[in-house]
Amino acid sequence: MKKYLGFGLLLLAVACQKPAGKSTAAKNKFSDQNLRTIYTLQDERNASGLLTNFGSTIINHRKEAALALASVQDKATVPALSTLLSDPEPPVRKAAAYALGQIADSTAESHLVNAIDQESDSFLRAEMFEALGKCATRNGIAILAYFDTPDTVTQGGQAWGLYRAMLRKPLPEPALTKVARLITREHPYQVRLAAAHTLARSGKADLRRYFSLLQEAARNDKSAYVRAAATTALGKAKMPESAEVLTFLAVSDPDYRVRLSAVRALKDQEYALTKPALLKALSDVHPHVSLTAAEILAGKNQETDDTFWQAALMQPDWRTRAVLLGACLQASKEPEPVRQHITSLYLKTNNVYEKGALLTALSNNPASYEFLKTETFSAKDPVISTYGIEALAGLRKQPDFPESLNTDFNQLLKNAIASSDVALMGTAATLLREPEMNFRQTFTDVTFLKLALARLTLPRDVEPYLELQKTIAFLLEKPAPEPPKTQAKQAIDWKLVQRLSPDQKVLLKTSKGDITLQLYVEEAPGSVANFVQLLEKDFYNGKFFHRVVPNFVAQGGDPRGDGWGGTDYTIRSDFADLHYLEGTVGMASAGKDTESCQWFITHSYVPHLDGRYSIFARVISGFEAVHKLQIGDKIEKVELVKR
């Protein structure tokens, strides 16, 4: 009997199996035609079409239409969105608050304040407070500063509201004082985190009066994210006591991001107090810390050439070594041997990114001019030519740039503008707007710029187009023009989206290890569809991480490898209610609705990017590899993970 029972169970198991080769992915929400329509309207920036869903009896349709307007950002929709703040369903009220914050129009302020007064749900009040910060006038900021509640969830929204308000304009002293008090350990994590980030990005505010609170958080908060932000804020309290704490953190905190933040904060402290810590940081186990220390030491320019030379010889990281050699070249009274050494390293290495860093180092001495010019305009790899034109621009800004080279350099700029290379065009155009260069007197005829502008193709060449457009206006002393409104050529591929599971995984194989991503299929279908289309064409395989900013982002996906490349189309921005945490993956852009193929992974919390760059995925494993990524590391393969 057992024999037959076992055989019967086996037959049942076989019968229940999915046919071979068929996807077993769970359906995502876009099996609903109405939701596909709503997201298509969002992608088309059709605000009036979205507003018709506000009268729907289906809760999810009202909610999704409101969220869609967060990406459209049409100020004319503020009155209609404000009515949803009193919708009977919490998800709809939350979506409306987020969308109003994204639109950031001051006319929404009174509606949000009234909704906060009426709202009993702590989480919704928190969302409304954060939205209020994005559109607050002085009155709204005062409400954020003086509102008092024992509810910790609401406190979190209030704290983030003050952060959002600070991003728009400096906070008055009462508001800063409120924020500083929120950083203490008795407050919940989200409150402390928001307070620390607010103070870290408080511009030129004098934070000396908050020294005790800041140093306590920087030293002892259990969260590295809070410690890092508090450490940055501590750098704004310019006093010997701050320098003492920062030098300690720069060499002792267990998290490299806190050490790095401390090193950066030392930049504005008295050099005599910070020199030992900066020199010690050059040998930090994490190359991002040593690089940051090298950049600050180079910027200070108070060390002897021998100090930089010896540090460079001992430096295993090529990027840090190049910075130190550049500083040595600038400080040396006999620069020629140093310049020849840098040139020798340049000729020996096969790493185009190291070559680029060495070209940057050479820009510290005018004798490098002819070599830089030759390498820039003869390079076969766009990475080298891009670093080259940037090095030439840096050289031109040097106070000791020979006046005898001005005429030749002006022709060089014209040659760069006339080239077909988008990076040469864009970088040269940007330099022409430098006020201290007085190029208005030199380039009174902008015909060459207009001809270059006419040769560009939109939307592919949007970045150099914007630079040329702004430069023409600058030289003619006219107001900056509105960015061109180009139609995105890439519509959302709904068939592709529908075959993805809601938690679709992607395996990103890099030269530093594997990283697994989870796509936000239901939150950012346009960005996800574009990314998947490209990876299924093997577009990303063999590309490089061309930009790595320590404790910020690692960016890749550029077909040129220098940050100026893209596809022949653009896609629309997806501004879902998501936040930039550690390991968040976002689309790089030159502004709203200009995304193409480049993307980045964050190293830590970077809340100032929220709602400005489309989030389409998050890292779920491989964080160690993320933090090891350096410029020039390879994207070996990107593939969907089969279920």
Q: For the domain that residue 587 is a member of, what is the CATH number?
A: 2.40.100.10
DSSP 235: T
SS3 helix, strand, coil % of the chain, rounded to 5? Answer: 60, 5, 35
The predicted structure's pLDDT at residue 202: 94
Q: Where are the alpha helices (DSSP H) in 52-151?
A: 59-72, 78-83, 90-103, 109-118, 122-135, 138-146
Q: Is residue 51 part of a domain?
A: yes
551 backbone dihedrals φ, ψ, rounded to 5°: 55, 35
Q: Residue 322 has which token pair?
A: 């190049």
Instruction: Please report, as a single letter, which amino acid is at residue 340.
Output: Q
Q: Is residue 177 part of a domain?
A: no
Instruction: Please report, as a single letter, which amino acid is at residue 626.
Output: V
Q: Is residue 462 part of a domain?
A: no
Nearest CA-CA partner of 42 in 524, 643, 482 = 524
Rounded Cα–Cα distance for residues 557 and 445 (Å)? 38
**Strand 634-640, strand 513-519: pairing:** unpaired
pLDDT 10s digits, 301-356: 899 999 999 999 999 999 999 999 999 999 999 999 999 999 999 999 999 999 99
- Number of domain units in the chain: 2
- SS3 of 180-221: HHCCCCCCCHHHHHHHHHHHHCCCCCCCHHHHHHHHHHHHHC
The predicted structure's pLDDT at residue 6: 38
Average pLDDT rounded to a whole number, residues 159-168 = 97
Contact 484, 563 (CB under 8 A): no
pLDDT 10s digits, 550-559: 999 999 999 9
Q: Is residue 33 part of a domain?
A: yes
Mean confidence (pLDDT) of the chain:
94
Q: Is residue 232 part of a domain?
A: no
Neighbours of 12 (CB within 10 A): 9
> How many helices and strands in the chain, by DSSP H and E?
32, 8
Rounded Cα–Cα distance for residues 341 and 339 (Å)? 5
Residue 499 makes CB contacts below 8 A (sequence gap 6+) with: 23, 25
- Determine the 3-state secondary structure of 601 from DSSP: strand
User: Which domain-ending residue is among 169, 199, 224?
Assistant: 169
Asked whether residue 397 carries a pLDDT value surpassing 90, the answer given is yes
Q: Residue 553 has which token pair?
A: 């982002």
The predicted structure's pLDDT at residue 169: 93
The predicted structure's pLDDT at residue 480: 84
Average pLDDT rounded to a whole number, residues 98-122 = 97
Rounded Cα–Cα distance for residues 363 and 397 (Å)? 10
pLDDT 10s digits, 1-41: 333 333 333 333 333 444 444 445 579 999 999 999 999 99
Rounded Cα–Cα distance for residues 128 and 119 (Å)? 9
Rounded Cα–Cα distance for residues 291 and 273 (Å)? 20
The predicted structure's pLDDT at residue 25: 54
Rounded Cα–Cα distance for residues 187 and 201 (Å)? 20
DSSP 172: P
Q: Is residue 548 part of a domain?
A: yes
Give the residue, 12 or 511, on which the prediction is more confident: 511
Instruction: Please report, as a single letter, which amino acid is at residue 493.
Output: D
Asked whether residue 47 carries a pLDDT value surpassing 80, the answer given is yes
Average pLDDT rounded to a whole number, residues 477-502 = 87
DSSP 586: E
User: Which domain-ending residue is among 109, 141, 169?
Assistant: 169
Average pLDDT rounded to a whole number, residues 418-436 = 96
Contact 324, 294 (CB under 8 A): yes
Q: Residue 404 has which token pair?
A: 């005898």
289 backbone dihedrals φ, ψ, rounded to 5°: -70, -45
Q: For the domain that residue 121 is a member of, what is the CATH number?
A: 1.25.10.10
Neighbours of 595 (CB within 10 A): 30
Contact 187, 151 (CB under 8 A): no
Please report the sign of the dihedral spanned by the C-alpha atoms of residue 149, residue 153, residue 158, residue 159. Answer: positive
Which burial class, exposed, middle or buried, applies to 441 when counting CB atoms under 10 A from its CB (0-12, 13-18, 19+)?
exposed
Average pLDDT rounded to a whole number, residues 596-605 = 98
pTM exceeds cut of 0.75:
yes
pLDDT 10s digits, 256-313: 999 999 999 999 999 999 999 999 999 999 999 999 999 999 999 899 999 999 999 9
Average pLDDT rounded to a whole number, residues 509-522 = 98
The predicted structure's pLDDT at residue 288: 98
Residue 488 makes CB contacts below 8 A (sequence gap 6+) with: 43, 459, 569, 570, 571, 572, 593
* Helical (H) or strand (E) element with 327: helix 318-331
- Domain interval for residue 141: 29-169
Q: How many CA atoms lie within 13 A of 285 on its CB side?
A: 7
563-590 CB burial, b ≥16 within 10 A, e <16: bbbbbebbbbbbbbbbebbbbbbbbbbb
User: Which domain-ending residue is among 136, 169, 202?
Assistant: 169
Q: Is residue 137 part of a domain?
A: yes
Q: Is residue 34 part of a domain?
A: yes
**Strand 553-556, strand 505-510: pairing:** unpaired
Beta strands in 2-78 (DSSP E): none
Instruction: Look up tokens 């607010």; give the residue.
Output: 198
Q: Residue 487 has which token pair?
A: 């139609």
